[in-house]
Structure 1
Amino acid sequence: MSTAVSAAEVSETFDEKKIVLIWSLTVWLVVMNTTMFNIALPYVLIDLTLTSATAAWIVSGYSIVFAIATLTYSRLSDFIPISRLLLIGLSLLGIASIIGFFSNQFSLLLLSRVLQAAGAGAVPGLAMVLASRYIPLARRGKAMAYISSAASLGFGLGPVIGGIITQYLGWNYLFAVTGLVFVVMPIFIKLLPKEVVSVGKFDLVGATLTGLCVTGFLLFLTSFSVFLLIVTVILGGLWWRHIHKLDKPFIRPILLKNKQYTKLLYVGFITFVLHFSALFLMPIMLTVLFRQEPSAVGMIIFPGAILSALGAQFIGRFIDRFGNVPVIAFGQILFVVATILFAITATKSPMFILFTYMFMSVGFSALTSSLSNEYSRILPKEDIGSGIGLAQLIQFFGGAFGVTMTGILLTLQEGLIQEVAYRNVFVVFIVLIISSFSVFSLYSWKRKR
């Protein structure tokens, strides 16, 4: 059952412009929270004496929990008020930021990042729910455009602000930035519509099993423990059996039987694998190979991120004019070019990294926008919400997998010359994007039949 009250009941109290503005600001903080920390990773690695594979868990753990949390909040909003869920999320994010500010051990840092993700997932997870529930269709696109622009701005400014803070104050002070959510909480309490709690069911077992399966698999990759692999396979079997028993499981199995949809899921998965891996690897390369300061690292990544933000509006127009498939193909071509250039030139100069990331960043923007539209086009109306939610889940799992994989590849090559080790990682990226392009070509061929 929905908690929503009618549009007429909220028309007098719902200040749409203020809500969209403050929500956009919060999205900016949440996205920046992710990109800021990538710049600091080389220094966290040194300060806490971590291997690349271990440090990767700071990003992977965040991505796993963020993915689960995003879908969880949107599902819970069917029977729990948006305002209550958002305040729970922002409270978790704020408390975790305080813990992170004082953390000086890996376990405490990882805990703070995981708690941050559990809270941060409320912001994107509930944004679409709020828009579809209370903003008229005629103005909904404009509202979501503001929120998307804030996310793009977060991707662009995150590396710069993160680099400056890390260099001059230390990486612990990055948590002070996200602590600003305490400032916006009273505003949300005042502006959000008042809803009532309704009776509903949430598949907590399914959500827990999903998270355990993914975490177990990533832990297996970092440890190669046969015991962990066996446990993960057993959990996977329990998960598969569980989602077939419920009417409204955490993940609807019917979606996984749609072959065209699963092809797109693979494309989205690889997109996030490569982009998150690049965001993890670039600061390490710039710090280790070229001795760049954190602020300089941020400025090198900044042009690509801003170009992506500026190009978002043009990509939207291309999608409206030419459809999703040409834009997906265009995005993948940019990824192919970027991975090849990274493999050939990234170890030669920071300027090559700056130039090459522009291709990848614009390609990422093109792929995420067009894939979301294509999901909604091919799925039945009743499956669109669940389908897009599952796609977001798979994509962020892809980000977690990519960072973990990159950390493992670097750790396995510790005996090699650093330039060779980084180049080998990018060769793996080339293989992955070619596999993705092949799957998409099959999707496009089936679509025309």
Structure 2
Amino acid sequence: MNSSYSHSFLRHNQILLWLCVLSFFSVLNEMVLNVSLPDITNEFNQTPASTNWVNTAYILPFSIGTAVYGKLSDQLGIKKLLLFGIIVNCIGSMVGFIGHSFFPILIFARFIQGIGGAALPSMMMVVVARYIPQENRGKAFGLIGSIIALGEGMGPAIGGIIAQYIHWSFILLLPSVTIITVPFLMNILKKEEVMKESFDILGIVFMSVGIVSFMLFTTYYRIPFLMIGILFLLIFLKHITKTSTPFIDPSLGKNASFTIGVLCGGLIFGTVAGFISMIPYMMKDVHQLSTAVIGSGIIFPGTMSVIIFGYLGGILVDKRGVLFVFSIGTAFLSISFIVAAFLVEVSPWLMTILIIFVFGGLSFTKTVISTVVSKSLKQEEAGAGMSLLGFSSFLSEGTGIVVVGGLLSIHLLDRQFLPMYLKQSTYLYSNMLLLFAGTIIVSWLVTLNIYKRSYK
């Protein structure tokens, strides 16, 4: 009895250990190259619109794949999908490192990484649910959540140091560390029974073509991309109303509270992601900071503050309600953007403080959006609805990065709207920050108007 208990305890701890390794490197890969975007721009003589695809090429398949892997887990088994994800992610890392001197290969490698990386967060949560005893799941989820927060926080610092003192291409090798987990997971995870179900591959293709075309429009501002994007998204919307097993349940669109929560949450998440992608360009152009200082000194304190704000946001939601926390979060975001717009050239360290409040506001709003969206769903809709929220959140981040890259490249906002500035290099960034603040305020007003009756 004791021997059986000890063996089971050891096995559960082994699973948890390797899941922590996967958790850390899966989130590290998402934004670790962010601080190197200006370096990549200069090395390849590209515009920010093109260079930002280094991040978007990862996030786009990652967002779609997160939803796809979740649906495939019952048909193919989590063991196969998890191992597939790890191996594909590592292949993408090696392709990117070997071919990093060719920009198209770099983008292709990041796309491959995103396909593999998408399997990790979805399958890890399922592994915990299936292999960890119920009485220990709370601790397991808490530990993995902490490791994820640590990976997100350390990503900019690690990426900045590697890029500054070695070369940004070596950052691409970081996910390949996860290959060490493969033999252990093959041994630990059991063979599973799978179910045969139909899968909406056509819907995924229509939606993907529409999204990619729209993102290409925001990169190059060519009307044909916009027309193709709209056409395929309309075809996708028509398709999901006709098929018996749609990739996205169209009935969720009839739920106004759910739809507004997803759309306004997407606007906020996309705005913050775009802002984060803009920081390295802004800090180099305005303050001439090194890549290592941008990663470690400017962005790192903010990413680590998410751990504190996430805990605080959960407490405040229970004590003061979701609308109060949402208003505080959006106030953090909008005020930080407005202050930064007026004082962007004063001191880079002021930006460090403001970024802490930006990440705090993001943490608060994420907590609220997850809460209000989940409460707007019926029990039978919860799985599909929350999966769609996760998918739209990742997709919004990728879209935000592309849109900001496009606006930085075409200089549409490169005008002197604030007369106190003397440096022309600050015009564009200041106006972008005001645009971010306006987007957050509009999202706050719409969300408040929709949910105020439900949360009086």
Q: What range describes the TM-score normalised by the shorter chain of this pair? A: over 0.9
Which residue among 75, 80, 87 is the counterpart of 2:83? Answer: 87
**1:258–1:18: structure 2 CA closer, same or farther, 3 Å change rule?**
same
Mapped to 2, the partners of 1:310 and 1:190 lie a distance apart of: 37
Matched, 1:125 2:122: yes
CA apart distance, 1:359: 0.4
CA contact (8 A) 1:375 1:384 kept: no
Secondary structure in 1 matching 2:33: helix
Q: Check conservation: 1:282, 1:353, Cα contact below 8 A.
A: no
User: Displacement of 1:12 after TM fit?
Assistant: 4.8
SS in 2 for 1:379: coil
Question: How much has 1:211 moved relative to structure 2?
Answer: 1.4
CA distance in 1, matches of 2:429, 2:75: 48
Give the match for residue 406 of structure 1: 404
**Corresponding residue number in structure 1 for 2:359:** 361
CA contact (8 A) 2:21 2:178 kept: no
In the TM superposition, what are the counterparts of 1:142-221 in structure 2 within 5 Å? 142-221=139-218
Contact preservation (8 Å) 2:96, 2:110: yes
2: distance between equivalents of 1:295 and 1:225? Answer: 36
CA distance in 2, matches of 1:149, 1:127: 14
Spell out, residue by residue over 1:270-328, the C-alpha distance to the aligned partner (whole angstroms, 9 max, x if none): 22112211211111111222121111111221111111123322333333444433322
Distance 1:431 1:156 in 2: 27
Judge conservation of contact 1:14–1:191 (CA < 8 Å) in 2: no
Aligned residues: CA RMSD: 1.9
TM superposition shift of 1:131: 3.2
Provide the residue aligned with 2:225 in structure 1: 228
Matches of 2:389 and 2:78 in 1, distance apart?
22
The equivalent of 1:420 in structure 2 is 427
CA distance 1:129–1:374, change in 2 (3 Å) = farther
The whole-number CA distance in structure 2 between the counterparts of 1:224 and 1:143 is 46
Paired residue secondary structure (1:251): coil
Q: 262, 266, 271: which one pairs with 1:269? A: 266
* 1:141 CA drift (Å): 2.8
CA deviations on 1:351-398 (whole Å, 9 max, x unpaired) are: 011010000111112222332233222211111111111111211221
**Separation in 2 of the partners of 1:217 and 1:358?**
32
* % identity of equivalent residues: 28
Q: Deviations over 1:27-51 (max 9, x none)?
A: 1111111221001111111111110
Q: What does 1:252-401 align with in structure 2 at a 5 Å threshold?
A: 252-299=249-296, 300-401=298-399
Partner of 2:70 in structure 1?
74
**Deviations for 1:175-194, whole angstroms, at most 9, x for unmatched residues?**
12111011112222122232
SS of the counterpart of 2:242? coil
- Tell me the SS of whatever aligns to 2:155: helix
Instruction: Tell which deviates more after alignment, 197-206 or 432-441.
Output: 197-206
* Cα displacement (A) at 1:134: 3.9
Provide the rounded CA distance (Å) in 2 between the counterparts of 1:332 and 1:433: 6
Distance 1:176 1:239 in 2: 36
Q: State the match for 2:51 in structure 1.
A: 55
Q: What CA distance in whole angstroms lies between the structure 2 residues aligned with 1:131 and 1:377?
A: 24
411, 417, 440: which one pairs with 1:433? 440
Secondary structure (helix, strand or coil) at the match of 1:78 reads helix
Q: CA deviation at 1:209?
A: 1.5
Q: Out of 304-313 and 102-111, give the one that drifted further.
A: 304-313
CA spacing shift, 1:268–1:193, aligned 2, 3 Å: farther
* Cα distance, 1:350–1:44 mapped onto 2, change above 3 Å: same
Measured after TM superposition, the shift of residue 229 of structure 1 is 2.4
Count of aligned positions:
439
8 Å Cα contact 1:337-1:359 kept in structure 2: no
Shift of 1:13: 8.9
Paired position in structure 2 for 1:19: 15
In the aligned structure 2, how far is the partner of 1:134 from the partner of 1:320? Answer: 31
Alignment match of 1:250 (pick from 247, 251, 254)? 247
Conserved 8 A contact 2:31-2:55: no
1:19 and 1:320, CA in 2 relative to 1: closer, same or farther beyond 3 A?
Answer: farther
Is the Cα contact below 8 Å between 1:156 and 1:306 reproduced in 2?
A: yes
Query: Alignment partner of 1:244: what SS?
Result: helix
Q: Secondary structure at the match of 2:108?
A: helix
- Aligned partners of 1:203, 1:98: CA distance in 2, in Å? 31
Secondary structure of the corresponding residue to residue 76 of structure 2: coil
Could you say which residue in structure 1 is the equivalent of 2:36? Answer: 40
1:93·1:179 contact (CA, 8 Å) conserved in 2?
Answer: yes
Q: For the residues of structure 1 that align with 2:125 and 2:243, how far apart are their CA atoms?
A: 25
TM-score by length of 1: 0.93
Cα distance in structure 2, aligned partners of 1:195 and 1:38? 38
Alpha carbons 2:158, 2:295 under 8 Å: kept: yes
* Paired residue type of 1:349: S
Paired with 1:50 and 1:66, the residues of 2 have a C-alpha distance of 24
1:206 & 1:14 partners in 2: Cα distance?
A: 43
Bigger shift: 343-352 or 125-134?
125-134
In structure 1, what is the Cα distance between the partners aligned to 2:10 and 2:256? 42
Q: Which moved more, 1:391-400 or 1:164-173?
A: 391-400
Cα displacement (A) at 1:227: 2.2
For the Cα contact (< 8 Å) 2:57–2:108, is it kept in 1?
A: no
CA distance in 2, matches of 1:441, 1:412: 34
State the alpha-carbon separation in 2 of the partners of residues 175 and 448 from structure 1: 46
Q: TM-score, normalised by structure 2?
A: 0.91
Tell me the secondary structure at the aligned position of residue 66 of structure 1.
Answer: helix
